[in-house]
Amino acid sequence: MARVQLRNLEKVYGGAVKAVHGIDLDIADGEFMVFVGPSGCAKSTTLRMVAGLEEVTGGEILIGGRRVNDLPPGKRSIAMVFQNYALYPHMKVRGNLAFGLKIAGKRKPEIEAAIAEVARILEIEPLLDRLPKQLSGGQAQRVALGRALIKKPGVFLFDEPLSNLDAKLRASMRVRITDLHRRLRAEGLSSTVIYVTHDQTEAMTMGDRICVMQAGRIMQVATPKELYTSPANLFVAGFIGTPEMNLLDGRLDGGDFVIGGQRLALDPEVLARLGARRPAAAVLGIRPQHLTLGTAGLEARITHAEFMGHEVNLHADLEGRKLVAVVGAADYDALAEGDRVRLRPAAEHVHVFDAAEGHNVSLRPDRLAA
């Protein structure tokens, strides 16, 4: 079993600076959990506490039901893949793969069989007799992954492993890592993964669930789809999604949301979910993909456009507020900078947030605790 549980986990530096604020998280055996958030949100600090590389100030870490707070990294049934690969430069790939098993006292035939298996899985057989300096970034990352995999740990820990690669290689390695995880899980091997990244594309495409962090606190834990469709608060709404969600300040007036001098009638289902939760100051949230050009809706002035091929990111000014809509390239052909347009939100995809507290007050009641 490789279930990972964090119980009221804290990290304080110098007795004064609190980096992690008593977080609770339960990661299932075999789950691929991604920690995502901006720089400085303590996602790597949390990972390093799980790994045993940072001392825990308060709370507990359990791996497979066993409290590991005071255990060294080598006794925690974990393997870690770092951002800088951390390969031994004087050892060939074969030696890098074998090193951990030699330290563990494994016999030579067992080590050679393990190297052959990992090399086959990661398609690095031709690289076994090369030094790290002779490898490309993608090759070096696969070797680092192989060095973790060969230990057959209960938990894989990844700390921004793809950030040094170019965009094409990152996309390739995302697929390779997720495919590897699914294969191990299908074979009945415990392959719990905790993966840290600041890149929301990695988070959304790789994770079974995503833990969004800010300033040492968990903002929301959910599946990628749930984060996108039901953000729990303003931070998650603005952080997840490309282009980011439009967040327009205004107020509720009966069944309308008022933005400056404009009124938008809210969908009856959204109003029903609001119930009595009617904050004095509110924020309307609508994703750029859920706005369409038409003859009705919010009126805005085009400030500029980004041509993306089959679609256009249309930037506009709405009563002094920035607004982005993703529209078809053909729909934009007849428009120009400075034109005034009408943008109609898809009513069922509108969110209402409490401006003071930041909570999404338009979520279904069963999602309020997410």
**How confident is residue 369, by pLDDT bands cut at 50, 70 and 90?**
very low
Same domain for 315 and 181: no
DSSP assignment, residue 153?
-
pLDDT at 279: 86
| In a shared domain, residues 213 and 285 | no
Looking at the chain, the whole-number percentage of residues with pLDDT higher than 70 is 97
Report yes or no: 261 and 319 within 8 Å, Cβ to Cβ.
Answer: yes
Looking at the structure, do residues 131 and 169 belong to the same domain, yes or no? yes
> Domain check: are 209 and 274 in the same one?
no
Write phi, then psi, for 207 (nearest 5 degrees).
-80, 140
SS3 for 234-264, per residue? Answer: HHHHHHCCCCCCEEEEEEEECCEEEECCEEE
Are residues 214 and 283 both part of a single domain?
no
Domain stop point among 191, 213, 229: 229
Q: What is the mean pLDDT of the chain?
A: 91
116 is in which domain, residue-wise? 4-229
Q: Is the distance from CB of 252 to CB of 341 less than 8 angstroms? A: no
DSSP code string of 42-84: SHHHHHHHHHTSS---EEEEEETTEE-TTS-GGGTTEEEE-TT
Q: Do 253 and 199 have their domain in common?
A: no
Which stretch of DSSP H or E encloses residue 95?
Answer: helix 93-103
CATH of the domain at 271: 2.40.50.100
Please say if the pLDDT value at position 196 is more than 80.
yes
Answer positive or negative: Cα dihedral of 73, 26, 178, 200: negative
pLDDT reported for residue 124: 92
Task: Give the lowest-confidence range in 287-291, 322-326, 366-370.
Answer: 366-370
Pair (263, 302) in one structural domain: yes
Q: Which of 229, 250, 284 is the last residue of a domain?
A: 229
Out of 155-159, 166-170, 179-183, give the one with best mean pLDDT: 155-159
Q: What is the pLDDT of residue 189?
A: 66
Check whether residue 273 and residue 324 sit in a common domain.
Answer: yes
Q: What SS3 state is found at 85? A: coil
Q: List, as one string, the DSSP characters of 111-139.
A: HHHHHHHHHHHHT-GGGTTS-GGGS-HHH
Tell me which of 64-78, 173-187, 194-208, 260-274 is least confident: 173-187
Does 28 score more than 90 pLDDT? yes
Q: How many domains is the chain built from? A: 2
Residue range 107-164, pLDDT digits in tens: 999 999 999 988 988 889 999 999 999 998 888 888 988 898 888 888 999 999 888 8
How much of the chain is in helix, strand and coil states, percent to nearest 5?
Answer: 30, 35, 35
In terms of domains, do 18 and 162 share one? yes
Q: What is the pLDDT of residues 210-244, one digit of tens each?
A: 999 999 999 999 999 999 999 999 999 999 999 99
CATH code, 213: 3.40.50.300
- Picking from 66, 74, 67, 64, the residue whose alpha carbon sits closest to that of residue 29 is 64
DSSP for 307-345, please give it: E-SSEEEEEEEETTEEEEEEEEHHHHTT--TT-EEEEEE
Q: Are residues 204 and 179 in the same domain?
A: yes
Same structural domain, 169 and 313 = no
Same domain, 156 and 244: no
Domain finish residue from 195, 229, 263: 229
Query: How far is 107 from 263, CA to CA, in rounded Å?
Result: 74
pLDDT at 370 over 70: no
